[in-house]
Structure 1
Amino acid sequence: MTPRYFKEYLARYTYAKDGSWCYEDGCVYRGLALLHDQQPQEIWRDELLRLIGPQVGEDGALAGYTQDEFNIDHILAGRVLFFLEKAAPGAHWSLAIEHLAGQLTRHPRTAGGNYWHKKRYPQQVWLDGLYMGLPFQIEYGLSRNKPEMVEDALAQLNRALDLTHVAATGLYAHAIDEARAQDWADPQTGLSRAHWARALGWLAMALVDVTGLIGPEKAASSGLAERASALLTRITALARPQSGLWLQVIDQPELPGNYEESSASAMFAYALMKGARLGLGGQFAAPGLKALASLETTQLYAGDDGIVRLQNVCEMAGLGGFGGRVRDGSPAYYLSEPLRPDDHKGTGALMMAYAERLASASAEARRAAS
């Protein structure tokens, strides 16, 4: 059923921002690349080319993108360009990569050295941004023989983990304002208040993707493997006992109105299965598989129009003023954001998780045969 859902979703696909380069489309693009890696005989690469083709000019220019916006989110979709350099060679993919890498060389940083989340969010580091920018930077550094970019990204990741860790919960705050100037930030620590599941989902995916890029030995020596394993252990403990999914405000099961959120659950399923495959802990495979199966059986269903969609996806959440709203980072705020079936972030993450289940099964079969 799930591959059929993906194909039907792609047939009715609409760009997240009217065709402008953005991270939301990038989530789906990454899912398609990972699906192609596991099922090269399927349509996934062709669908990716159909969608991304109009967004990348022959000179590598990206539709609607300008470096000077300094939005770290825009980097994420660039990860698929490394895949396309090999799967559908063309100079324009490489030129587009250089445009995005050029942003990173100029992107504003905090006093500690981390990228601002966006130009309009100065001095702020969000968990979302760690996934949006740093795996791309590492892949760029590895593919272009620029080890200093790899080391810088690893330093940023470790520094962000130091800054956002909340010892009392064993989790990480959604964001930190190093200037202590935002209303949502604790005046002493600079941290936001509540633990939003999708922010932690971005982080979990960043940690396992970086581990996959740099390899287990470097992940261990840099301390990232230990931190990834600790986070995945904590995430596993917070899964809902019956469904195996995770709540929107992940550590507050008694909070009225809290609900099982599909995009974060797909991200955790992906991270847990991949973490197990990469050697971060074999115990993570079962909860990852359970979560994906639960999403397939309980969150993929038809609405009144008869179309099967991925349900219970939070459309967006953030911090600070946006669109006339005050986003204060409270648990109540995260529950106030609307749900959007088939949101790109949810379906993209579901594609990643489905592809990872295939990758993990293939790896297990190879081990059994050796």
Structure 2
Amino acid sequence: MRRSTIRALRHSVLLLLAAALAAAGAVPARAATTTDWSVAMVKSTMQRFTPATIGGWSYPVGLYLYGQYEVHQRTHDPSYLAYLKAWVDRFVTPNGTINQSFDSLDSMLAGRLLIILHHETGQSRYAIAAATIRDRLTTYPRTSDGGFWHADTSSRAHQLWDDGLYMVVPFLDEYGKEFGDPSAQAEAVKQITVYTSHLQQPDGLLQHAWDESKKASWADPATGLSPEQWCRANGWYGMALVTTLDDVPATQPGRAALLGDLATFAAGLQKYQDPATGRWFQVIDKPTGAGNWTETSCSAMNAYTLSRGAQQGYIDAHYSAVALKAYHGVLARISLSKGLTNLTTISIGTNVGDYAYYIGRTQATNDFHGLGSFLIMNEQLRGMGGT
């Protein structure tokens, strides 16, 4: 039997399992709706912003536009791709020059859109621009065991942040596939392996950051670790891990170990999922902490990771129900007002800090961290007992 057939059958079984669990009350019920939330969100965002006003070259906008591309792949609405292209073309000249320094991992996430546009259009300008990022990584600073610093600045020197994995690893995965560069995919596996070795804890989840020099104000003087497990940092990690498992060859050295990392991580997510809402808390491992609150973007990311991991057979099938519960929890935070979508309770951009810092972050509506992760989640989970 072909692998694609086996995966299709597994996916059908997971859908039936999730539906049965929902009927039994294992996941919260939600009124039936005909709203296609992905389409509604994309149309709302395109109405609110033009490609010229949505923002500069940045990872939150890049995340959102990647999610919009996933909706394009399903709907084939040409306006979604045209919008994405118009945004990218603000930064890439016809000869492929891109005026960015790429001195931080954050600056690299939107590079995925360059690969997408090369794939869709065949235009060499996007390959040249993407190669600028790939080449930058050959000189980019690393820890002693090869992990990319979060940024090439004195304030981020020697530091690994969970966030950084998703900023660069999917780019490497997809660059390797599009341009036949196996070293890019090997680098992706290496980065996850190094980051996991320093940041993953016995409970399966990850501290937000680690400083090899132990000089950062937040670094433990003995371990170099930051004090808290921030939910979105864990969300970035999970999505990077699943993307790599999807994209690199099954024979890729080091890939098999990532399956164990994901299984450990998934167990940690299940342990700390809020039983009342299905979401996860801003400081993920302290759900009863004073002032802690369930955060939307990380809950969407975690729902995606668990659903995709179960669908692909990377983790046990029961995680499909855990993901579905989270999915309903995130859907509870999206609504329509005057024909436009609003997604609430999204943590704005966040550095490394202590407990009070994380829970004090602004809870925004329609922040791109949330919009992008919502679209990625919804395109994975829509139809599984939801919209």
TM-score range, shorter chain: 0.7 to 0.9
- Could you tell me which residue of structure 2 aligns to residue 352 of structure 1? 376
Counterpart check, 1:44 vs 2:90: no
CA 1:314–1:356 in structure 2 vs 1: closer, same or farther (change >3 Å)?
same
- Could you tell me which residue of structure 2 aligns to residue 28 of structure 1? 64
Match of 2:90, SS state, is helix
CA 1:215–1:239 in structure 2 vs 1: closer, same or farther (change >3 Å)?
farther
Q: What's the offset of the Cα at 1:219?
A: 8.1
**1:150 maps to which of 174, 181, 185:** 185
Which sections of structure 1, spanning at least 5 residues, go unmatched?
Answer: 320-328, 362-370
One-letter amino acid matched to 1:108? P
Q: Matched residues in 2 for 1:151 and 1:39: separation?
A: 33
CA 1:15–1:111 in structure 2 vs 1: closer, same or farther (change >3 Å)?
farther
**Is residue 16–residue 22 contact of structure 1 (8 Å, CA) maintained in 2?**
no
Q: What's the offset of the Cα at 1:218?
A: 4.1
Q: Matched residues in 2 for 1:11 and 1:83: separation?
A: 23
CA 1:349–1:133 in structure 2 vs 1: closer, same or farther (change >3 Å)?
same
- Could you tell me which residue of structure 2 aligns to residue 244 of structure 1? 278
**2:307 maps to which of 273, 278, 285:** 273
One-letter amino acid matched to 1:73? D
Q: What's the offset of the Cα at 1:102?
A: 1.8
* RMSD between aligned residues: 2.4
One-letter amino acid matched to 1:222? A
Q: Matched residues in 2 for 1:188 and 1:175: separation?
A: 14
- Could you tell me which residue of structure 2 aligns to residue 291 of structure 1? 326
Q: Matched residues in 2 for 1:142 and 1:190: separation?
A: 35
Residues 226-235 or 212-221, more deviating: 212-221
1:224-263 alignment, distance < 5 Å: 224-263=258-297
**Is residue 238–residue 251 contact of structure 1 (8 Å, CA) maintained in 2?**
yes
Counterpart check, 1:12 vs 2:48: yes
Q: Matched residues in 2 for 1:175 and 1:144: separation?
A: 32
Match of 2:160, SS state, is strand
- Could you tell me which residue of structure 1 aligns to residue 363 of structure 2? 339
**2:121 maps to which of 59, 78, 88:** 88
Q: What's the offset of the Cα at 1:275?
A: 0.9
- Could you tell me which residue of structure 1 aligns to residue 144 of structure 2? 111
Q: Matched residues in 2 for 1:118 and 1:348: separation?
A: 23
**Is residue 112–residue 171 contact of structure 2 (8 Å, CA) maintained in 1?**
yes
**Is residue 324–residue 384 contact of structure 2 (8 Å, CA) maintained in 1?**
no
Q: Which has the higher contact order (CA 8 A, sep 6+)?
A: 2
Q: Matched residues in 2 for 1:340 and 1:59: separation?
A: 39
One-letter amino acid matched to 2:209? A
1:168-179 alignment, distance < 5 Å: 169-179=203-213
Q: Percent identity?
A: 29
Q: What's the offset of the Cα at 1:74?
A: 1.1
CA 1:16–1:51 in structure 2 vs 1: closer, same or farther (change >3 Å)?
closer
Q: Scaled by the length of structure 2, what TM-score is found?
A: 0.83
Q: What's the offset of the Cα at 1:153?
A: 2.6
Match of 1:55, SS state, is coil
Aligned length: 346
CA 1:216–1:225 in structure 2 vs 1: closer, same or farther (change >3 Å)?
farther
Q: Matched residues in 1 for 2:55 and 2:122: separation?
A: 22
Q: What's the offset of the Cα at 1:220?
A: 7.6
**Is residue 165–residue 172 contact of structure 1 (8 Å, CA) maintained in 2?**
yes
CA 1:201–1:219 in structure 2 vs 1: closer, same or farther (change >3 Å)?
farther
1:168-207 alignment, distance < 5 Å: 169-207=203-241
Match of 1:29, SS state, is helix
Q: What's the offset of the Cα at 1:105?
A: 1.3
One-letter amino acid matched to 2:329? S
Q: What's the offset of the Cα at 1:175?
A: 0.6
Residues 21-30 or 136-145, more deviating: 136-145
Report Cα offsets for 1:130-182 as digits up to 9, x if no partner: 11112212322333333233223312211110111222x33111110000111
1:310-329 alignment, distance < 5 Å: 310-319=343-352, 329=353
**Is residue 23–residue 77 contact of structure 1 (8 Å, CA) maintained in 2?**
yes
- Could you tell me which residue of structure 1 aligns to residue 3 of structure 2? none
Q: Matched residues in 1 for 2:381 and 2:54: separation?
A: 32
Which sections of structure 2, spanning at least 5 residues, go unmatched?
Answer: 1-34
